[in-house]
Chains A and B, each alone.
Chain A
Amino acid sequence: MPTIKQLAANEAKEKRFRGGHSLCSGCGIPIVVRTVLNSIETPVVVVNATGCLEVATTRFPNTAWNVPWLHVAFENAAAAASGVESAYRALVKRGKLPADEPVTFVVFGGDGGTYDIGLQSLSGALERGHQFLYVCYDNEAYMNTGIQRSSATPFGASTTTSPEGKISFGKAQQRKDLTAIAEAHHVNYVGQSAISHWHDLSDKVKRAVEVDGPAFINVLSTCQLGWRHEPREAVKVAQLAVDTLFWPLYEVVKGRFRLTHIPEEIVPIETWLRMQGRFKHLFKEENAGALEVIQQQIFDEWERLKERDRNDRAHFAPLQKDQTFTTEFEMV
């Protein structure tokens, strides 16, 4: 089980992501980045898709990154990482880089750069089996360009391109299940985590970087501007996304599924929605139907995941008492 002290010890040893960037006050993304980078013991090389993280951390001539970092464009972070990783293998093969000093390749992309425009290059890279970890920081819309709807935007959310209005209750479509799409590539590790559960995320990262071939982790991040909550509530709102079952935490290891966190008390989705301005309109009388739809869909999905969890649970080493996650990698 990872501890926060281990993360701190790693950061004390090497501060991989520095401050002084221009990510917003109360932004959830740095929590993803620091938890991921501080959970990896080997040197890392980072590839970043265009988006908030990239723009806000690398304004020339400055950089927040104290590790090798590459950005090419919006839709191609996974493809660019394929190139870096292939060059690494070529240079090791030809004796130009040491074979006994492993490097971990990590890609960060937002939901726009991953669910939407970057899905093809991610799919290609997952299918080819490059050795890398792709981390999607999912804040559920194109926040960098000013809160436009993406395929990660939840049903009913008001964004600048799916605004609520006299005849609209916000986004009319369901969000895409990207984690399931990644899983369909039959890679050895896929996980879903959230910034409120750093131990869960850290644990998943440690497991993901150990598997053979690509790994994918979808992390729910938050955006106070786009979600319209108080900056100080960034972690709380993510916590509620998990506790309402809106964002279940799970992993799929070599095709076997398990929930990595089961909330002690399941909170009605309304509580989470009420915290965020983007859902405010759902509480108008005429939108009551939409609220019911949202709650029902969450419960249906949870039942489906619980069934998968029951079916596959025997393949994992049993959890210890009061432990909802584990670093034990052995599968039974």
Chain B
Amino acid sequence: MKTKPTEAERIEMLRRAKLLTGAEGAAHAMRQINPDVFPVYPITPQTPIIQTFSKFVADGEASTEIINVESEHSAMSAAIGAATAGGRTMTATASQGLALMIENIYIAASMRLPIVLAIGNRALSGPINIHCDHSDSMLARDSGVIQFFVENAQEAYDFMIMSVPLAENHDVLLPVLVGQDGFTITHTAEPILLEEDEDVQNFVGEYEIPYPLLNLQKPTTQGPFDMPDYYFEHKRQQQAAMDAVPDAFDTVANHYAALTGRRYDAIEEYRLEDAERAIVVMGSSAGTMKEVVDDLREQGEAVGLLKVRMFRPFPTKKVREALGHVQKVAVLDRAMSFGSKGPLYMEVAEALFGAGPSMQNYVFGLGGRDLFPADIRQVFENLKNPEEMREMQYIGIRE
């Protein structure tokens, strides 16, 4: 069970920390990982990631081959080429950029390439909007990639590093998308604890894949043409890789905890143990919600929060264990699946199928719409009588 650090722990942490934005945190992780190849293409709010990293390379602090591609589609195409060739490869994107590269995201997953991408989560056009929501990442939901949503700059840094050995685990070999909320995390400076460069390099180790294209002694054909006699088998392999993720992630998280003292799980349970009402959410909003939960707890209300960090593969069993005893659950989605419920809601509902809690689905924060503590209090209040609620609620909308 996670609790807030003590005041003394907080002061000690601040003493060692650097004040960095989430984008800079991701770029520092990339500098320490020092990948072989990094295709870059700008898009708000991800741009500071590639800018910061490009400057590291320009200053000789990383020796990565940067490819200044002419689109995100080519960024991911070049990443696939580089990763297949046998080079550790990272890139970054957001919003329309992710939409443009989505064809190649599917291909990278199917080719089992451990490419790590930093995503600055942003709304999708139209109308065009540069602010945060999770619609862009949801495009990749069914693509076969591992997906994380982080809460703050520290997690953005930590998950970029942990994603490398996770992606490259030979039972896994999948791309990883680390989503940090646009502006809220990418552009907001927070104290981040950075590990030593050498420790990070040792932690991620050497890049090794089973069939590097540049192994001239053992030529391979990669990206062939499948007919119905083999396509299904290749898709089944991808599910097997996903099935290997939970154990692989536990191992990585344990090693990372041994190095840093920070132990991450696929979910974070916040004051859930005796909660009667709970909110489920992903991303930076969890921070605000923890404050509200603390306030309500002080007033004697049995409320809690479940933060989902790993969206793919969805930690169904963990979510069920964490929420099984909660009577009323509100799932807050920062994306829509028009004509159905929110994507996170659908996952949680599946996890809790038959387990009993009453459930509510809220959509919030689309296109950067603010979420206030009062909104969260209202959600907890509404949860007292879930049967009176309509099927889908919208927070902060004018209606």
Residues of A within 8 A of B69 (CB): 79, 82, 124, 128
Interface check B82, CB cutoff 8 A: yes
Residues of B within 8 A of A91 (CB): 36, 85-87, 214
Starting from the known contacts A84-B213, A124-B70, 18 additional A-B residue pairs (CB-CB under 8 Å) come to: A45-B216, A59-B226, A70-B213, A72-B80, A73-B103, A84-B82, A87-B36, A87-B85, A87-B86, A87-B89, A90-B36, A90-B82, A90-B87, A93-B65, A103-B214, A120-B74, A121-B73, A123-B70
Which residue of the partner chain B has the closest CB to A77? B77
Decide yes or no whether B191 CB sits under 8 A from chain A. no
- How distant is the Cα of A66 from the Cα of B75 in the complex, in angstroms? 28
Q: Which residues 6-52 in B have Cβ within 8 Å of A in the complex?
A: 36-37, 39
Q: In the complex, which residues of chain A have a beta carbon less than 8 angstroms from the beta carbon of B67?
A: 82-83, 86, 128
Contact with B along A83-126 (1 / 0, CB 8 A): 11111111101101100000100000000000000001101110
Complex Cα–Cα for A8 and B42 (A): 48
B211's closest neighbor in chain A, by CB? Answer: A68
Interface residues, chain B, with chain A CB atoms under 8 Å away: 36-37, 39, 63-65, 67-71, 73-75, 77-87, 89, 103-104, 107, 213-216, 219-227, 230, 234
Docked pose: A30 CA to B222 CA in angstroms: 20
Contact between A72 and B219 (Cβ–Cβ < 8 Å)? no
Q: Which residues of B lie under 8 Å from residue A61 when comparing CB positions?
A: 230
- Within the complex, which residue of A60, A75, A90 is in contact with B37, where a contact is CB–CB below 8 Å? A90
Inter-chain CA distance A58–B220, complex, in Å, is 11
Q: In the complex, which residues of chain A have a beta carbon less than 8 angstroms from the beta carbon of B221?
A: 58, 63, 65, 69
Report the bound CA distance from A73 to B81 in whole Å: 11
Question: Are A73 and B104 closer than 8 Å at their CB atoms?
Answer: yes
Are B63 and A94 neighbours in the complex by a CB distance under 8 Å?
Answer: yes
Whether A146 sits at the interface, judged by CB under 8 Å, is no
Closest to A66 in B: B219
Q: List 28 A-B contacts (CB under 8 A).
A: A58-B225, A59-B225, A61-B230, A63-B224, A68-B214, A69-B220, A70-B84, A70-B223, A72-B80, A72-B104, A72-B223, A79-B75, A80-B77, A82-B77, A83-B67, A83-B81, A84-B84, A84-B85, A84-B214, A90-B63, A90-B64, A96-B86, A97-B214, A103-B214, A120-B71, A121-B74, A127-B70, A128-B69
* Contact string against B for A residues 132-157, beta-carbon threshold 8 Å, 1 for contact and 0 otherwise: 00000000000000000000000000
A203 contacts the other chain (Cβ, under 8 Å)?
Answer: no
Q: How far is the CA of A120 from the CA of B77 in the complex (A)?
A: 12
| A221 sits at the interface (CB 8 A) | no
Does A76 make an interface contact (CB < 8 A)? yes
Contact B222 A121 (CB under 8 A): no
Q: How far is the CB of A115 from chain B (nearest CB, A)?
A: 17
Q: Is the CB of B70 within 8 A of A43?
A: no
Residues 44-62 of chain A, each 1 if its beta carbon lies under 8 Å from chain B, else 0? 0101000000110011110
- Chain B nearest CB from A57 CB (Å) reads 8
CB pair B82–A69 under 8 Å, yes or no, is: no
Nearest chain A CB to B39 CB, angstrom units: 7
A117 CB, min distance to chain B CBs, angstroms: 10
Q: Which of A65, A69, A79, A91 has the most CB of B within 10 A?
A: A79
CB-CB under 8 A for A60 and B230, given A72-B104, A87-B87:
yes
Is B219 a contact partner of A79 (Cβ separation < 8 A)?
no
CB distance from B205 to the nearest CB of A (A): 14
Judge whether A319 is part of the interface by a CB distance below 8 angstroms: no
Q: Of B103, B220, B225, which contacts A60 at CB under 8 A?
A: B225
A72 to B77, CA, bound (A): 7
Cα distance A94–B234 in the bound complex, in angstroms: 33
- Assuming A54-B225, A69-B219, A120-B74, is B214 touching A83 (CB within 8 A)? no
Bound state CA distance, A81 and B222, in angstroms?
13
Nearest Cβ in chain A — how far from B290, in angstroms?
Answer: 41
**Do A68 and B87 touch (CB < 8 A)?**
no
Q: Is the interface of B mostly helix, strand, loop or mixed?
A: mixed
**Residues of B with C-beta under 8 A to A90:** 36-37, 63-65, 82, 87
B81 touching A79, Cβ below 8 Å: yes
Give the residues from 228 to 245 in chain A that come closer than 8 angstroms, CB to CB, to chain B.
Answer: none
Known contacts being A60-B225, A90-B65, A127-B70, is A68 close to B213, with CB within 8 Å? yes
Q: Of all chain B residues, which has the CB nearest A61? A: B230
Give CA–CA (A128, B37) in the complex, Å: 15
Determine whether the beta carbon of B78 is less than 8 Å from that of A83: yes
Task: Establish whether residues A68 and B216, one from each chain, have CB atoms under 8 Å apart when the complex forms.
Answer: yes
The CA-CA distance from A65 to B81 in the complex, in Å, is 17
A43 to B78, CA, bound (A): 21
Q: Given A67-B219, A68-B219, answer yes or no on A73-B36 (Cβ-Cβ < 8 Å).
A: no
Q: Specify which chain B residues have a CB less than 8 angstroms from the CB of A68 in the assembled complex.
A: 213-216, 219-220, 222
Q: B222–A69 contact, CB under 8 A?
A: yes
Q: Using CB atoms, name the residue of chain A closest to B39.
A: A83
Nearest CB in chain B to that of A86: its residue: B65
Q: State whether the Cβ of A71 lies closer than 8 Å to any Cβ in chain B.
A: yes
Looking at the complex, which one of B65, B107, B230 makes contact with A87 (CB distance below 8 Å)? Answer: B65
Return A45 CB to nearest CB of chain B, in Å: 7
In the complex, which residue of chain A has the Cβ closest to the Cβ of B85?
Answer: A87
B69 nearest CB across to chain A (Å): 6
A70 to B107, CA, bound (A): 12
The residue on B at minimum CB distance from A55 is: B225
| Alpha-carbon distance A55/B221, docked complex (angstroms) | 12
Which of A67, A82, A87 is B74 in contact with, Cβ under 8 Å? A82
Expressed in whole angstroms, the Cα–Cα distance for A89 and B86 within the complex equals: 11
Residues of A within 8 A of B219 (CB): 65-69
Contact A73 B224 (CB under 8 A): no
Give a binary string over A274-313; 1 marks a CB under 8 Å from any B CB, 0 the rest.
Answer: 0000000000000000000000000000000000000000
Q: Which residue of B lies closest to A127 (CB)?
A: B70
* Nearest B-chain residue to A69, judged by Cβ: B221
Identify which of B81, B225, B230 contacts A84 (C-beta below 8 A): B81
What's the minimum C-beta distance from B36 to chain A, rounded to whole angstroms?
4
* Distance between Cα atoms of A63 and B63 in the complex (Å): 36
Contact A58 B79 (CB under 8 A): no
Take A71-B222, A87-B89 as given contacts and tell me if A76 and B79 are in contact as well, using a CB distance cutoff of 8 Å: no
How far, in angstroms, from A139 to B63 measured CA to CA in the complex?
A: 42
A69-B214 Cα distance, complex, nearest whole Å: 10
**Contact assessment for A72 and B107 in the assembled complex, using a CB-CB cutoff below 8 Å:** yes
B81 to nearest A CB, angstroms?
3
Least CB distance from A78 to B in Å reads 8
**Do A93 and B84 contact each other (CB < 8 Å), given the known contacts A72-B104, A76-B77?**
no
Contact residues in A for B87 (Cβ distance below 8 Å): 86-87, 90-91
Given contacts A68-B213, A68-B214, A93-B63, contact A87 B82 (CB under 8 A): yes
